[in-house]
Amino acid sequence: IFYFVSNYFPSPIGHYNLFEFDPVNNKFIPHLPFDPDTDYLNWTLNRYSSTGSEDTFLIYSLNDTIYNIKDRKIIAQYRVNFSKRGKTDAAVRKEREYMEQTNGRSTKSFIYGLEYLQQFGNKVLATYVDNYYFRYLLFDKTSMEFNVFEDITIGTLGGFTLFNYSISDNLLISFRETSTVKNTWTNVFRKNATDEQWAKKIDDIIDSAQQDDNLVIFLCKIKEE
């Protein structure tokens, strides 16, 4: 069975955000219908799915629901409540009208839902945008306890900040441009680093790197509590 994610685009089958394809019977089964007259169109995300050991989660733009594909069933697994600043139909319509009038500038008044989501173990790490800045949401799938924070940092390396992350086999993988790493490490983070062993390894990378070298990749092992 294959699943194809749509992003509020119409199809010959109808207006659906997910299609299940059965190659044996050569059949498409639509899921997650949307209303083209009220749902926001063409607001794309970098990634819509995250597969864990047991669950495959789906998120969509301007949608506060995290869906789960499990045993060929699609269920609404979680709902993220951003309180009064979260997406509502009225808010979306107001924002869409404003952006059309101002050539795409946002009012910054609303949080439009999750932009990115990754699973590891029993945890979910998600990203959303608040007032043009990324915020991170970490929650436990069992207890539903959660934390919200502004940055992903390595404390023992002076608070070195990680962006553009992905998670695989309990490794958080992040990459930064070489020039950015050189500048921020030398001018901001190095003086506050407490783990000299790893700090010296980064020093060696910085000393041998050129401005136009390939990206620097960080592999960080995630500890399970």
Q: What is the pLDDT of residues 64-80, one digit of tens each?
A: 889 998 888 898 998 88
CA neighbor of 182 nearest in space, from 217, 212, 211: 211
**Higher pLDDT, residue 33 or 61:** 33
45: region left, alpha or beta (phi > 0 left; psi from -120 to 50 alpha): beta
pLDDT value at position 212? 76
- pLDDT above 90 as % of the chain: 14
Task: Return d(Cα 131, Cα 201) in angstroms, integer.
Answer: 36
Q: Please identify which residue in the block is written with the tokens 């900040």.
A: 161
- Kindly state the helix (H) or strand (E) to which residue 208 belongs, with its residue range: helix 196-208
Q: In this predicted model, what pLDDT tens digit does every residue of 103-160 receive, in sequence order?
A: 555 555 667 778 888 888 888 888 888 777 888 888 888 888 888 888 888 889 999 9
The per-residue pLDDT for 51 is 78
What's the CA dihedral at 193, 196, 198, 204 to 10 degrees? 100
Q: Are 2 and 21 in contact (CB under 8 A)?
A: yes
For residue 188, give every residue at least 6 positions away whose Cβ sits within 8 Å of its Cβ, in sequence order, or none.
158
**pLDDT score at 188:** 92
Q: What is the structure's pLDDT at 191?
A: 92
- pLDDT tens track for 30-57: 999 988 776 665 567 777 888 776 788 8
Q: Are strands 171-176 and 216-221 parallel, antiparallel or unpaired?
A: antiparallel
For 1, other C-beta atoms within 10 Å of its C-beta total: 10
Quickly state the pLDDT bin for 63 (edges 50, 70, 90).
confident
Q: Which of 116, 162, 139 is nearest to 225 (CA)?
A: 139
Among candidates 123, 134, 225, 199, which has minimal Cα distance to 167? Answer: 123
Q: What's the pTM value of the predicted model, to 2 decimals?
A: 0.75
Output b/e per residue, 4-17; b: 16+ Cβ within 10 A: eebebeeeeeebbb
**41, 34 in Cβ contact below 8 A?**
no
Query: 59: closest CA among 76, 73, 40?
Result: 76
